Amino acid sequence: MADYDIIVLGGGTGCLVATAAADAGLETALVERGRLGGTCLNRGCNPSKKLIHRADVAEAVRHADGLGIDASVDGVAFGDIVADVTATITEEAEAKAQRARERDGLTFYQAEGRFVGPHTVAVDTGEGLGGDRFTAERIVLAGGSRPMIPAAIDGIDETSFLTSADALRLEALPERLLVVGGGYIAVEMGHFFGQMGSDVTVVGRGDVLLDREDAAIAERLTEAYRAKHDLKLGFSATAIADDDGERVVTAESEGGEETELRGDRLLLATGRRPNSDLWNVSAAGIETDEQGFVETDDYLRTSVEGVYAIGDIAGNYMFKHSGDTEAEYAVANAVHGNERAVEYPGMAHAVFGSPQVAGFGATEGDVDGEYAVGTCAYDDTALGAALRDEGGFAKAIVDEDGEILGCHVVGPEASTLIHEVSTAVAAGADAQDIAATIHVHPALSEVVQGAFRDAVDYGHDGL
């Protein structure tokens, strides 16, 4: 039995912990069943955004005539686009694996692994999981998540469908794509496939897409998508089937209305679930909540002494940037023993659809008591108006003392604009500070400033 100073389970955000531990002189084991880089690099953020950039370009060309430019999309080399992105991602993952194998103090097991005791891990090195076993007093579980497959949908076991991971590597463009789900994956993949040339139908149980966002933001996003795609909102998929090469989705509303939808391919975008079962955390005595997320305290410690959990499997936030932040705390706590309570200063998020959506802090529906709301439309700023993106706006939510409770943006470059607010909050600034800060004119950031000026009733509009 080989013993290590620390074991890291999961090669996404876990790579940050494993390399830091090895650099600190600890004998470190890193276990990952797939390619290093985890979901984000291989099956999520990175490939999806590289593909979505192509969709953004195609959409910009299609709207060029509104700016007096004669241009058209005469064809899309869908297979070549996907192959190019896949090759780039694969090269990055393989380079990570090579660096891991060459790093002093780090043993990389690219194999199936799972807990068989509180501090014992079994790894399949070719003889099954009864083969290599090793222990460590300190373990960091960075086991990630995977697409959720809803068992309640009839026909789920007999019908072929795509998950988000499959959709990112699809070699042929479907003429008609059915998407079940109304969250960020449905929004991003709907945009990508729509601009590549698919007719997209989205079936979502909520009344709007992205129903966890601020209501006004979600309504604007849904309005934009309704103009481009076929939306069946307020419907839950009850059954799926294959019918002579077509995918068939049966969906029902709360009022009992039933509809049947048909397409060439079917994407289930119904959320993600933690991989705690795949790592067999119950064998270690690690406690999970009802959804399977590993329970952690403020220091990312699990119920088992010396075992920490970070990233999607812990469920604090399910973003790559939050996982990376937790990895930094795991290095401090598990590697160096500094015991720092995790904090998420300025935590924001974004959805890379069209239009983009970004958010920080509370939505208006979350807020109680006295507060002020300010808004600013893109069209009310010089550069925003030049973009001809009708309906985009920023919304600031501020309490009576000027504290920033939330900010939400829907429109071009929302994913970038939100960082002004997250950085300000992390630095201790308030709404008045953003309103008063001199902004470059005519930059898009004036949309955010305008929302805060409206919220705090700052200055005068002039003539």
**pLDDT tens track for 222-241:** 999 999 999 999 999 999 99
Q: Which of 222, 250, 270 is the last residue of a domain?
A: 270
Residue 390 is predicted with a pLDDT of 80
Kindly report the CATH number assigned to the domain that includes residue 362: 3.30.390.30
Checking if the pLDDT of 132 tops 90, the result is no
Residue (of 203, 192, 194) closest to 176 by Cα position = 194
Domain span holding position 61: 2-147+273-335
pLDDT bracket for residue 389 (50, 70, 90): confident
Residues 223 and 247 in one domain: yes
Mapped onto helix, strand or coil, the DSSP state of residue 266 is: strand
Q: Which is the catalytic residue, given 63, 229, 439, 441?
A: 441
Percentage of the chain surpassing pLDDT 70?
A: 97
460 is catalytic: no
**Is 175 within the bounds of a domain?**
yes
* pLDDT value at residue 418: 98
Total number of domains constituting the chain: 3
d(CA 64, CA 69): 5
Q: What is the pLDDT of residue 330?
A: 97
**Backbone phi, then psi, for 265, in 5-degree steps?**
-135, 155
What's the CA gap between 367 and 338, in Å, rounded? 35
Contact 249, 236 (CB under 8 A): no
Distance CA 326, CA 297 (A): 12
Q: Where are the alpha helices (DSSP H) in 378-426?
A: 382-386, 414-426
Q: What CATH number should be reported for the domain holding residue 27?
A: 3.50.50.60
Q: What is the average pLDDT across 335-363? A: 96
The model's confidence at residue 444, banded by pLDDT at 50, 70 and 90, is very high
Task: Write the pLDDT tens digit of every residue in 250-266.
Answer: 999 999 999 999 999 99
Centroid of chain to Cα 165 = 13
Cβ atoms < 10 Å from Cβ of 80:
9
Give yes or no: residues 10 and 115 share one domain: yes
